């Protein structure tokens, strides 16, 4: 658990009702933070609200790509939860298909959520974070640095997030620390709303292709986030942490 000075601090997180975001939200709550979640998927929000929603986790429905909705979320958080100390830009979507079939509207939707959303949340949260020497953590991706076919929209946004991270670190320093985390293969197949949750069967080969011997888990990302939010680690800013079990360092020959 965190030291007493961290207890009750408010953390903003986008896309926190499913996948990595859900696990991070629950971990932060366990560590004593109060968490304000902005989630676009209304079904995921409603499902969590109907279940057991721990006290200290606050769910809001909205689109990170909408300036109006981002401003409303942060204003509600301030009035209903408390002044934010930290922001985690996690929300992301993809539209993976051959570029000849990728519609402009699909391209723009991915940019609006992944990149513009990160910009908007950082813009409107930063005045509050500056009061507390807080931090921003952006979820980037190893796809900012390496690719599979047909991932142009997603990869472009993650490359943008990588650059936006170090730009924000310089602009908002020294009051706000800004870092990025680039996950590799993290299995979140079971951490979805019930209509989509389906634990995939990971093979021995899936695990062996990683130098550490296994596919990643959402907890691997949550562990680093907790570390970066701790004021004792405040000498770290403008950095990108690749959490991929060593895959981007592995030479592969056909």
- Please identify every residue annotated as catalytic: 154
Q: What are the Cα distances from residue 233, in Å, to 19, 24, 112?
A: 26, 18, 31
* The two structure tokens encoding residue 90: 């996690």
Q: Residue 89: phi, psi to the nearest 5? A: -90, 95
Distance CA 254, CA 246 (A): 19
Query: Quick check: 199 and 218 in contact, CB under 8 A?
Result: no
Distance CA 158, CA 147 (A): 11
DSSP E strands, 184-225: none
Q: Which residues of 152-165 are buried (b: 16+ CB within 10 A; e: fewer)?
A: bbbbbbbbbbbebb
For residue 13, the surrounding DSSP H or E stretch is strand 10-14
C-alpha torsion angle, residues 151, 181, 25, 57 (rounded to 10):
-100
Write the DSSP string, 102-129.
Answer: --HHHHHHHHIIIIIHHHHHHHHHHHHH
Distance CA 212, CA 230 (A): 26
Q: Which residues pair with 36 in a beta bridge?
A: 12, 58
Parallel, antiparallel, or unpaired: how do β-strands 84-89 and 10-14 relate? parallel
């Amino acid at each position: 658990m965190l030291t007493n000075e961290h207890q009750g601090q408010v953390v903003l997180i986008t896309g926190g009702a499913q996948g990595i975001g859900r696990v991070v939200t629950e971990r932060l709550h366990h560590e004593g933070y109060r968490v304000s979640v902005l989630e676009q998927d209304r079904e995921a929000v409603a499902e969590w609200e109907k279940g057991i929603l721990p006290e200290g986790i606050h769910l809001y429905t909205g689109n990170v790509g909408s300036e109006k909705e981002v401003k409303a979320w942060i204003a509600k958080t301030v009035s209903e939860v408390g002044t934010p100390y930290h922001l985690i830009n996690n929300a992301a979507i993809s539209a993976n298909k051959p570029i000849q079939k990728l519609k402009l509207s699909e391209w723009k939707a991915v940019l609006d959520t992944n990149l513009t959303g990160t910009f908007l949340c950082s813009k409107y949260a930063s005045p509050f974070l500056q009061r507390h020497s807080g931090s921003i953590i952006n979820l980037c991706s190893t796809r900012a640095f390496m690719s599979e076919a047909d991932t142009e929209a997603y990869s472009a946004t993650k490359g943008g997030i990588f650059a936006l991270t170090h730009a924000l670190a310089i602009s908002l320093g020294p009051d706000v620390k800004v870092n990025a985390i680039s996950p590799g293969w993290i299995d979140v197949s079971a951490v979805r709303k019930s209509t989509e949750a389906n634990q995939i069967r990971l093979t021995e080969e899936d695990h062996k292709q990683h130098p550490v011997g296994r596919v990643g888990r959402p907890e691997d990302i949550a562990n680093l986030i907790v570390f970066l939010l701790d004021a004792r680690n405040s000498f770290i800013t403008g950095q990108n942490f690749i959490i991929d079990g060593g895959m981007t360092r592995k030479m592969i020959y056909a």
